[in-house]
Amino acid sequence: MENLIDGKAIASRIHAETSATVSELAAKSSLKPGLVFVRVGEDPASRAYVGMKEKMASEIGIDSRTIVLDEKTTQDELLGIIADLNSDTAVHGILVQAPLPSHIDERVIFSAVDPGKDVDGFHPVNVGKLMLGDTSGFRPCTPAGVHELLIRSGVETSGAEVVVLGRGNIVGKPMAAILMQKAAHANATVTVVHSRSRNVAESCRRADILIAAMGSAHFVKADMVKPGAVVIDVGVNRIDDPSAKRGYRLVGDVDFENIQPLAGMITPNPGGVGPMTIAMLMHNTALAASRAIA
Amino acid sequence: MENLIDGKAIASRIHAETSATVSELAAKSSLKPGLVFVRVGEDPASRAYVGMKEKMASEIGIDSRTIVLDEKTTQDELLGIIADLNSDTAVHGILVQAPLPSHIDERVIFSAVDPGKDVDGFHPVNVGKLMLGDTSGFRPCTPAGVHELLIRSGVETSGAEVVVLGRGNIVGKPMAAILMQKAAHANATVTVVHSRSRNVAESCRRADILIAAMGSAHFVKADMVKPGAVVIDVGVNRIDDPSAKRGYRLVGDVDFENIQPLAGMITPNPGGVGPMTIAMLMHNTALAASRAIA
């Protein structure tokens, strides 16, 4: 399987780099980056995600803690907590774990986080900077992680036809923004394909780099992939599986088994994009701390 | 020439609507929208643009004035003026006319304008909101104007293949963001093609809607257009013309003469996108004033 993009290995290298940055910060200014997770309610997936992120932070030397709030927390109470974290100089990164309960407007919450502490990259200022080619902001972790996978796997993006499947705010749209920029490791011809697109298979077959972020189990079939294309699978979908202990298993947006033989390079899933999201979160947190002392 | 998209006529209708909004504001709250132009130096094109915009503002009932600053104005002086305008409650819209002298960083200036008064739509917060599908911001005037041209000409964008030629911050990128949204009058499959793209002609030939904003005189030739496609020409390029009094004439990015016969619909240039930019500026200013009293 020589065409596999090993997300775990690349994520470890990024963690090592972040760890080195954290050590430099400690040496230079006795500063330890501080990251606070805010979790509302007891969604099991959110608990698991935050747990993994906390563990990794501690391994890297980032001070992290999680504020767990009751499911019934009001939007105003949450805004108050964010305001306190914004003004706390020991806190360099704030991550409010989505999804939030339906009585809380995520847009209001994400916009309330100080853009300089918005290590998730969801604040409009950071989205705008990304779009404008202004590198002083924070990039959302998953598309930034895909970008690092491409760069560190030696994939040429300049002039490449990229098809991004999906136009969500967390992956699809920022992914397109990153790769269309006039910049090194970008300069791609990007097409964003989504639920309203016609000729989806035909568009995908044109792609030199196909990034699947629809959230639809095994949506991308072998006949939608040009032989030799680079295929990145961002999807995490639950499908029923009575043979599994939990009654389901997680699969990607890409029919890996049938596409791996014809792809130029491909991410496994799990073990591809997933570890990169956490790696970029740690990177963003160290960056936020570095900028705080600059 | 029944396939012409008459930008002047559509812009007049928008001006009439804006004028009605301005009258309502006056009736409801004795409020007159205030728009301030800031112009640095004596660039003849900037003088002309600001002059046209001021004239239109006055016709519509918007209070406008222009602050003309010496070419040698420092960035800090300009920032001071913007801060004053930000805090002036009679000012609802602020437009700093580009280009600025090279010793002033446009990015710093555009980011200093209060996002609620940023009727040009260049502040990162407004760019980010546009990208995120949050309609509480301001959209940049030229791509918003193209969008209105499409809507008011009955062009179906949902599922359409759109090719945007050019990836500038003023037109190309926001144009792509507008048309890829999950929203009415959007939902297009958007490809952004630029100077590093390969197969440019082939990409263009796929377009149901081709939007040319490269800034390259007559770049789009007839063999790059699918018969029946809608062709929008955003370009304004100066080419030498000894027979003209000024020694040059302005031409678009589209070889209109040869494309008009085969296009489904096409904008003339001048008389297509140009008038729409001013119309959307006036619209944004009235909107800013409406929001200020809301």
Asked if residue B128 lies in contact with residue A126, where contact means CB atoms within 8 angstroms, the answer is yes
Domain limit, last residue, from A77, A99, A115: A115
- pTM for this structure? 0.97
Do A51 and A165 sit in the same domain of this protein? no
Strands B189-193 and A189-193: antiparallel
Examine the residue annotation and report whether B97 is marked as an active-site residue of this protein: yes
Do B104 and B195 sit in the same domain of this protein? no
| Six-digit token string for A229 | 């294309």
Residue A101 lies in a domain: yes
Do B180 and B243 sit in the same domain of this protein? yes
Do A176 and A257 sit in the same domain of this protein? yes
Contact between chains at B127 and A126 (C-beta distance less than 8 A): no
Examine the residue annotation and report whether B260 is marked as an active-site residue of this protein: no
Do A177 and A107 sit in the same domain of this protein? no
Residue A106 lies in a domain: yes
Residue A63 lies in a domain: yes
Residue B174 lies in a domain: yes
Contact between chains at A128 and B127 (C-beta distance less than 8 A): yes
Q: How many Å apart are CA A7 and CA A278, to the nearest integer? A: 11
For residue A192, give the nearest of B127, B180, B194 by CB distance. Answer: B180
What was the ipTM of the complex prediction? 0.96
Do A77 and A180 sit in the same domain of this protein? no
Residue A257 sits in a domain whose CATH number is 3.40.50.720
Is a pLDDT exceeding 70 seen at residue A8?
yes
Q: Which residues of A touch B129 (CB under 8 A)?
A: 124, 128
The secondary structure of chain B in percent helix, strand, coil, rounded to multiples of 5, reads 45, 15, 40
Domain limit, last residue, from B99, B114, B129: B114
Do A243 and A149 sit in the same domain of this protein? yes
pLDDT in 10s for each residue of chain B, 294 residues: 689 999 999 999 999 999 999 999 999 999 999 999 999 999 888 999 999 999 999 999 999 999 999 999 999 999 999 999 999 999 999 999 999 999 999 999 999 999 999 999 999 999 999 999 999 999 999 999 999 999 999 999 999 999 999 999 999 999 999 999 999 999 999 999 999 999 999 999 999 999 999 999 999 999 999 999 999 999 999 999 999 998 999 999 999 999 999 999 999 999 999 999 999 999 999 999 999 987
For residue A127, give the nearest of B123, B131, B161 by CB distance. Answer: B131
Kindly report the three-state secondary structure assignment for every residue of chain A.
CCCECCHHHHHHHHHHHHHHHHHHHHHHHCCCCEEEEEEECCCHHHHHHHHHHHHHHHHHCCEEEEEEECCCCCHHHHHHHHHHHHHCCCCCEEEECCCCCCCCCHHHHHHHCCHHHCCCCCCHHHHHHHHHCCCCCCCCHHHHHHHHHHHHCCCCCCCCEEEEECCCCCCHHHHHHHHHCCCCCCCCEEEEECCCCCCHHHHHHHCCEEEECCCCCCCECHHHCCCCCEEEECCCEEEECCCCCCCEEEECCECHHHHCCCCCEECCCCCCHHHHHHHHHHHHHHHHHHHHHC
Residue B49 sits in a domain whose CATH number is 3.40.50.10860
User: Which residue range is the domain that position A110 belongs to?
Assistant: 30-115
Q: Which residues of B touch A183 (CB under 8 A)?
A: none
CB contact, 8 Å: B273 with chain A? no
For residue B180, give the nearest of A137, A167, A199 by CB distance. Answer: A167
Q: How many domains does chain B have?
A: 2
Residue B69 lies in a domain: yes
Domain limit, last residue, from B95, B114, B133: B114
Do B99 and B150 sit in the same domain of this protein? no
Do A35 and A101 sit in the same domain of this protein? yes
Q: How many CB atoms lie within 10 A of CB A155?
A: 17
* CA geometry: angle A167, A86, B127, nearest 5 deg: 35
Q: Chains A, B: CB contacts under 8 A, how many?
A: 119
Q: Which residues of B touch A107 (CB under 8 A)?
A: 132, 134
Asked if residue B212 lies in contact with residue B165, where contact means CB atoms within 8 angstroms, the answer is yes
CB contact, 8 Å: A196 with chain B? yes
CB contact, 8 Å: A284 with chain B? no
CB contact, 8 Å: B98 with chain A? no
Q: How many Å apart are CA A112 and CA B88, to the nearest integer? A: 25
pLDDT of B2 = 87
Closest-CA residue to A251 (of A229, A275, A274, A235):
A235
Shortest distance, CA A243 to any CA of chain B (angstroms): 37
Do B158 and B250 sit in the same domain of this protein? yes
pLDDT of A294 = 79
Do B110 and B145 sit in the same domain of this protein? no
Mean pLDDT of chain A: 97
Is a pLDDT exceeding 80 seen at residue A1?
no
Do A150 and A110 sit in the same domain of this protein? no
Residue B122 lies in a domain: no
Whole-number Cα distances in Å, B222 to A84, A211, A238, B198: 60, 33, 49, 18
pLDDT of A278 = 97
Examine the residue annotation and report whether B120 is marked as an active-site residue of this protein: yes
Q: How many Å apart are CA B37 and CA B97, to the nearest integer? A: 7
| Six-digit token string for A274 | 């997933």
For residue A107, give the nearest of B124, B134, B198 by CB distance. Answer: B134
Residue B226 lies in a domain: yes
Residue B232 lies in a domain: yes
Contact between chains at B198 and A126 (C-beta distance less than 8 A): no
